[in-house]
Amino acid sequence: MKEIPVPVSLLEAEAAETSPRRLRRESFTGLGLLTPAIVIVILFSLAPLAYLVLVSFTRESTFFFNNPVYTGGNYRTIVNRYMPHVWTTIRLATLASIVNLVFGFPFAYILARKISYRELVRTLMVFPLVGPLYLAFGLYYVLLPNGPGAPILEFLGINATSLLFSEPMTIFGMALFTFPFMVMNVVAALANVDPTLEEAASTLGAESWQTFTRVVFPLSWPGILAGFLMCFGWNLGVYVVPILLGSTPQQRVLSLTLQQKAMSQFDYGLAAAMGVVLMVLAFSVTWISLRFSRGALGA
Amino acid sequence: MSGSRPIDLPAGVTIPEGAGGSSSWKTVRTVLQHAYIWIWLVIFVIPFLATLVYSFESPKGGYSLEAYDFVKGAFLENLVYSLELTLMAIIGNLLISIPAAYAIVRHNVPGKRLILSTLNVSLYAPAAVMGLSLLITYAYLLDFMPLTHSTWGLLAAYVVGTFPLMLLPIIVALRDMPMVYQEAAHTLGASRAQSLFRIELPLLGPGIGAGILMTFVIVFNEFLVTLFIAGPENQTAALRVYGLTRTAGFSQSTAAAAATMQLVSFVVVLVFFKLVGSRYLKGTYFA
Amino acid sequence: MSRVQLISVAKRYGDTVAVRDFTADIADGEFVTLLGPSGCGKTTTLRMVAGLVDPSSGYILFDDQVMNRVPTNKRNIGLAFQSHALFPHMSVAKNIAFGLTMKRRPKAEIRNKVEEMLDLIEMTGYGDRMPAQLSGGQQQRVALARMLATDPRVLLFDEPLSALDRNLRDTLKYSILELQRRTKKTAIYVTHDQSEAFAISDRIFVMNQGRVEQAGSQLDIYLRPATEFVANFVGDNNAISGVIESIASLPDGQRTARVKAGTFELQGYAPDTLDVGDEVLAFVRPENIEVVGQNTQQQADGLVSGMVEQIVFEGPTVRLNVDCDGVLLNVSASGVERLTLLDKGEKRVTLRFRDVSLVKQ
């Protein structure tokens, strides 16, 4: 049998596809295109955060001088005196995220499966997203003794003024801001559950709660958990809601203490240590949440 | 056609009792479901509407536009500054995100996942932490780069904190875009640059639009990082509103400023939805 | 086992009517197919029987019991989905056991039933596999086992084979028929594929735009289409328009009409609704047109002559396009004589029509 000669050009093309040199050139171009992003992230995110960690080990504001004193004292101070603020932060974030889960899941389920005016919902959901500042400000006004909410709440048997500067109101304000995050995560999770699976379950005799526990939940819980953790992560950094809707001693969160230590008392060392605590909390939560929400933000 | 005509049932037909669930219960359930959504929709807009109504109230009783004199006067400067800053942040994000998106989707870069999650770091750091770390960094760099209390300092903070929100929709759009368009452009004699500007960027339009929207909403309303690194000379509008709630207390002018900020943001989002739709906002906070 | 009745069932979505005035009486153990193009309302009808869609009006009865207000999970039905809808997070055995688990049957009973079902679908030993590890055909068989495991009173099929490739479709449709015959359960089968419908049904409902165009046996549907839509939708057909000149009753009660169509005349079966003078469409299937003579011009009763325009050899048949004085006919010739047609010299043919059906225009 005669051998058929392979055309030279074909050989070259094949070689070009897989040659390590070409691959290396590809990655160089790629890295080149990524350079601006990497540079700005290193300069304005990674380096400052690393510097924050460094400063957290200095005494008071010694980093402004040439020979800073390194100590673990700031962390000892946090453990001895500021743990209530850490717990408050975690408590408020947990409760607000639970509120999100309890109220956001049914909302997301109805939104994904039952109604047709999704665009309207999506548009109006922009209002809480625009920011906790305006949200807290608006709720504050609604609850004022002469505000518009007072008569309605009075009618429901609730004293509006008692709600203002209270923990439930703080949690509600925080939850309202993160509500869309929860809803969108659950909607994305439900998009992965084919509605015909729910129909199949009901043709096989399952009650709606059985369909939920046996089919919908097992298939969507990673997204639900991701949503919960994302809300939790956002709520850890809460700052303005407790100021406007809570009372300072009871709802004093870490961000607020940190800001006051740094901006009013110029104790940058302690503030930085608080920042590190907050950062570690937030990053660990985010890391877990990204493990579960494959593709939502992690690409 | 047979809408209201009563239908006779044959003799001997029974309607089983206790089968559970009746169509009236189904109707009630449907109504409850819609009601639940609407209750929340009302809650979403109540803070804004209340603020808006309050801003129209005159201290002397009745309603007036008096409070908006403040928005048109002293606040206008902050508003313009904020819009300028937001515009610059959008441009900065575009310049960084488009090449980065190409690198991630079209090039074989080692450690892609790690790079991508590193790029997102400042998105996940709490704002107070970002603010503080930038504050001390800017102070440290004062002798080399005057970033403290400067527009450039704010801009860098905004870009690093929001460009991932621009990057992601562009990555999604780029993945959706088949290579054939680019290849077709090349076979028709287009250079790399011609193909980029005439074919690819227009096709990426919606994705880029989504990124612009995200950047706008976040940067325009950001006040916490700003609180740490802005000086008295560069007060953004959002920071001014925050400052007013702390100093001026609960006044009509504060309400007017807050309402204006929300209205501007909402209109921008609305215009975006009308023009582009929400397809490319998938996986983001808006959809 | 159940008798299923639909009485004037309709479904409207706002102004659009998905199903209008559907009435049917399906006997215990009968295999009925709803056949029609997509969007004709066949799936909506099936989903109303399943309780997944509420009818806007009308009644659905199982064994003389009104089902309208009975929720899906209390109707005791089995539904096979186009996408098979196996629960992806459960093993094959768990999927098959699902219905019995919902009914809280004893563990031992469930285990036996699962084994029995796996045997039935010839997949013994596959119980621990996950759905993703199965081929498309296996998945659909598991779905069938899952729906049979609860011993449902009615079997419903929503295009269960349309996602599979052709060979698999052919074998599975006979498996479905066999399962239904063996279990003697009432079955309603939705499809847009007429060969599927003809192969397995006792009775076919042809639907179009929410309405039943014709209900009847395969032969009725194929040879006596009641409407123009049915004639065109089911198989190839030639449509010739004409006017009825006379009608005669045959001894067996059928009516035959003589139709004048352009320059020629033909005979066809006329339903009772037609009268002399009506404008009608005469439908003749290509295989029911016989080539009786070549290169001759015979003028006899029931014969038509025309010019051959095109000849396509398709193996078992030869397809001819024949121009009969302006009427283009599609003729499918089989048998040995088809080969003689391939001689390109033969241009003029004489045709005889059989089984002509008439539909009011």
Q: Does B142 touch chain A (CB under 8 A)?
A: no
Sorted by sequence, the CB contacts under 8 Å of residue C269 that are 6+ apart come out as: C224, C254, C255, C256, C257, C355, C356, C357, C358
User: How high is the ipTM of this complex?
Assistant: 0.85
Q: Cβ atoms within 10 A of the Cβ of C189, count? A: 28
Whole-number pLDDT of residue A8: 43
Q: Does B30 touch chain A (CB under 8 A)?
A: yes
Best of C16, C59, C73 to mutate (most B CBs within 10 Å, chain B): C59
Whole-number pLDDT of residue B192: 82
Give the separation between CA C166 and CA A294, rounded to whole angstroms. Answer: 36
B33 & B84 share domain: no
Asked whether residue A190 carries a pLDDT value surpassing 80, the answer given is yes
pLDDT category at A15 given cuts 50, 70, 90 is: very low
Cβ distance of B9 and C54 shorter than 8 Å: no
Domain boundary pick from B56, B78, B98: B56
Cβ distance of B50 and A148 shorter than 8 Å: yes
Neighbour-count burial of C107, counting CB atoms closer than 10 A to its CB (0-12 exposed, 13-18 middle, 19+ buried): exposed
B77 & B43 share domain: no
Has residue B92 been placed in a domain?
yes
Using a CB-CB cut-off of 8 Å, the residues of chain A touching B30 are 114
Q: Does A197 touch chain C (CB under 8 A)?
A: yes
Asked whether residue A293 carries a pLDDT value surpassing 70, the answer given is no
Q: Is C209 helix (H, G, I), strand (E, B) or coil?
A: coil
Give the mean model confidence (pLDDT) for residues A185-210.
90
pLDDT category at B275 given cuts 50, 70, 90 is: confident
pLDDT category at A42 given cuts 50, 70, 90 is: very high
C334 neighbors C316 (Cβ within 8 angstroms): yes
Minimum-distance CB partner of C7 among B3, B9, B20: B9
DSSP secondary structure letter of residue B191: -
Q: Cβ atoms within 10 A of the Cβ of A22, count? A: 12
Angstroms from C10 CA to nearest CA on chain A: 21
pLDDT category at C316 given cuts 50, 70, 90 is: confident
User: If phi over 0 gives left and psi between -120 and 50 gives alpha, with beta otherwise, what is residue C235?
Assistant: left
Asked whether residue A183 carries a pLDDT value surpassing 80, the answer given is yes
Using a CB-CB cut-off of 8 Å, the residues of chain A touching B86 are none
Q: How many domains does chain B have?
A: 2
Selected residues 68-97 of chain C with any CB under 8 Å from a CB in chain B: 68-71, 74
Has residue B287 been placed in a domain?
no
Whole-number pLDDT of residue C301: 67
Best of B31, B33, B44, B236 to mutate (most A CBs within 10 Å, chain A): B44
Give the separation between CA C126 and CA C146, rounded to whole angstroms. Answer: 13
Cβ distance of B10 and C7 shorter than 8 Å: yes
Has residue B61 been placed in a domain?
no
Cβ distance of A237 and B30 shorter than 8 Å: no
pLDDT category at A189 given cuts 50, 70, 90 is: confident
Selected residues 42-71 of chain C with any CB under 8 Å from a CB in chain B: 54, 57-59, 61, 64-66, 68-71
Q: What is the 3-state composition of chain A as percent helix, strand, coil, each rounded to the nearest 5?
A: 75, 0, 20
Asked whether residue B16 carries a pLDDT value surpassing 70, the answer given is no
Using a CB-CB cut-off of 8 Å, the residues of chain A touching C78 are 203-204
Q: Are strands C186-191 and C255-261 parallel, antiparallel or unpaired?
A: unpaired
A268-292 and A83-113 helices cross at what angle (nearest 10)? 30
B237 & B212 share domain: yes
Asked whether residue C43 carries a pLDDT value surpassing 60, the answer given is yes
Has residue B1 been placed in a domain?
no
Has residue B285 been placed in a domain?
no
Cβ distance of A34 and B103 shorter than 8 Å: yes
Q: Does B18 touch chain C (CB under 8 A)?
A: no
Asked whether residue B45 carries a pLDDT value surpassing 90, the answer given is yes
Asked whether residue B221 carries a pLDDT value surpassing 90, the answer given is yes
Q: What would the two tokens of residue B279 be? A: 């397809």
Sorted by sequence, the CB contacts under 8 Å of residue C212 that are 6+ apart come out as: C22, C24, C205, C206
Has residue B14 been placed in a domain?
no
B92 & B184 share domain: yes
Give the mean model confidence (pLDDT) for residues A168-194.
90
Q: Does A151 touch chain C (CB under 8 A)?
A: no
Q: Is C19 helix (H, G, I), strand (E, B) or coil?
A: strand
Amino acid making up residue B285: Y
B39 & B164 share domain: no
Give the separation between CA A14 and CA A7, rounded to whole angstroms. Answer: 11
Give the separation between CA B257 and CA B238, rounded to whole angstroms. Answer: 9
B261 & B139 share domain: yes
pLDDT category at C295 given cuts 50, 70, 90 is: low
Angstroms from B279 CA to nearest CA on chain A: 11
Question: For B123-169, what is each residue's pLDDT tens digit?
Answer: 888 999 999 999 999 988 887 778 888 899 999 999 999 998 888 88
Q: What would the two tokens of residue C207 be? A: 């639907």
Kindly state the helix (H) or strand (E) to which residue C240 belongs, with its residue range. strand C238-249
Asked whether residue A65 carries a pLDDT value surpassing 60, the answer given is no
Has residue B4 been placed in a domain?
no
Cβ distance of A45 and B96 shorter than 8 Å: no
For residue C286, give Cα distances in angstroms to A87, C258, C290, C291, C339.
Answer: 84, 20, 9, 11, 17
Question: For chain B, where are the alpha helices, taking DSSP H only?
Answer: 23-56, 67-72, 74-106, 112-119, 121-124, 127-140, 151-176, 179-187, 192-194, 201-221, 224-229, 237-247, 252-276
Asked whether residue A238 carries a pLDDT value surpassing 80, the answer given is yes
Asked whether residue A3 carries a pLDDT value surpassing 50, the answer given is no
Using a CB-CB cut-off of 8 Å, the residues of chain B touching A107 are 36-37, 40
Q: What would the two tokens of residue A207 be? A: 């009650």
Q: Considering chain A, what is the average pLDDT of its residues? A: 84
Q: Which residue of chain B comes nearest to A45, CA vs CA?
A: B122
Q: Which residue of chain B comes nearest to C67, CA vs CA?
A: B15
Cβ distance of B15 and C54 shorter than 8 Å: no
Whole-number pLDDT of residue C209: 92
Give the mean model confidence (pLDDT) for residues A82-96.
94
Give the mean model confidence (pLDDT) for residues A14-43.
77
Question: For C71-84, what is each residue's pLDDT tens digit?
Answer: 888 899 999 998 88
Give the separation between CA C131 and CA C110, rounded to whole angstroms. Answer: 19
Nearest to C329 by CA among C337, C318, C320, C317: C320
Task: List subunits contacting chain A, requiring 3 or more Cβ pairs under 8 Å.
Answer: B, C
Q: Does A113 touch chain C (CB under 8 A)?
A: no
B51 & B73 share domain: no
Q: Considering chain B, what is the average pLDDT of its residues? A: 84
Give the mean model confidence (pLDDT) for residues B13-17.
68
Query: Which domains does chain A carry?
Result: 8-56 (no CATH), 81-296 (1.10.3720.10)
Q: What would the two tokens of residue A274 be? A: 């608080």
Q: Does B203 touch chain A (CB under 8 A)?
A: no
Q: Does B7 touch chain C (CB under 8 A)?
A: yes
Angstroms from A109 CA to nearest CA on chain C: 18
Using a CB-CB cut-off of 8 Å, the residues of chain A touching C83 are 194, 196
Domain with residue B163: its CATH number is 1.10.3720.10
Whole-number pLDDT of residue B112: 83
B30 & B123 share domain: no
Give the separation between CA A26 and CA A40, rounded to whole angstroms. Answer: 22
Q: Give the residue, A19 or A219, on which the prediction is more confident.
A: A219
Whole-number pLDDT of residue B44: 94
B190 & B268 share domain: yes
Give the separation between CA A61 and CA C161, rounded to whole angstroms. Answer: 74
Minimum-distance CB partner of A204 among C71, C89, C99: C99
B175 & B146 share domain: yes
Give the separation between CA C182 and CA C176, rounded to whole angstroms. Answer: 10
For residue C173, give Cα distances in angstroms to C32, C153, C196, C219.
Answer: 14, 20, 7, 19
Whole-number pLDDT of residue C300: 66
Task: List subunits contacting chain B, requiring 3 or more Cβ pairs under 8 Å.
Answer: A, C
Minimum-distance CB partner of C73 among A196, A202, A218: A202
Q: Which residue of chain A comes nearest to B273, CA vs CA?
A: A123
Whole-number pLDDT of residue B188: 84
pLDDT category at B17 given cuts 50, 70, 90 is: low
DSSP secondary structure letter of residue B64: -
Angstroms from A117 CA to nearest CA on chain C: 15
Q: Which residue of chain B comes nearest to C11, CA vs CA?
A: B3
B201-221 and B252-276 helices cross at what angle (nearest 10)? 170
- Phi, psi at A161, each rounded to 5°: -65, -30
Best of B4, B8, B13, B26 to mutate (most C CBs within 10 Å, chain C): B13
A20-41 and B112-119 helices cross at what angle (nearest 10)? 10
B113 & B43 share domain: no
Q: Does A204 touch chain C (CB under 8 A)?
A: yes
Q: Does the global pTM surpass 0.90? A: no
Whole-number pLDDT of residue A63: 55
Give the mean model confidence (pLDDT) for residues C318-322.
86
Which of A7-11, A166-170, B103-107, C49-53 has the least mean pLDDT? A7-11
Whole-number pLDDT of residue C33: 95
Whole-number pLDDT of residue A5: 47
In percent, how much of chain C has pLDDT > 70?
A: 96
Asked whether residue A129 carries a pLDDT value surpassing 70, the answer given is yes
Give the mean model confidence (pLDDT) for residues A42-63.
85
Has residue B17 been placed in a domain?
no
pLDDT category at A246 given cuts 50, 70, 90 is: confident
B157 & B228 share domain: yes
Which range marks the domain in which residue B30 is found? 24-56
Q: Give the residue, B44 or C260, on which the prediction is more confident.
A: B44
Q: Does B111 touch chain C (CB under 8 A)?
A: no
Using a CB-CB cut-off of 8 Å, the residues of chain C touching A202 are 51-52, 71-73
Cβ distance of B44 and A240 shorter than 8 Å: no
Q: What would the two tokens of residue B225 be? A: 């990082």
Give the separation between CA C212 and CA C146, rounded to whole angstroms. Answer: 31
Cβ distance of B16 and C66 shorter than 8 Å: yes
Q: Considering chain C, what is the average pLDDT of its residues? A: 87
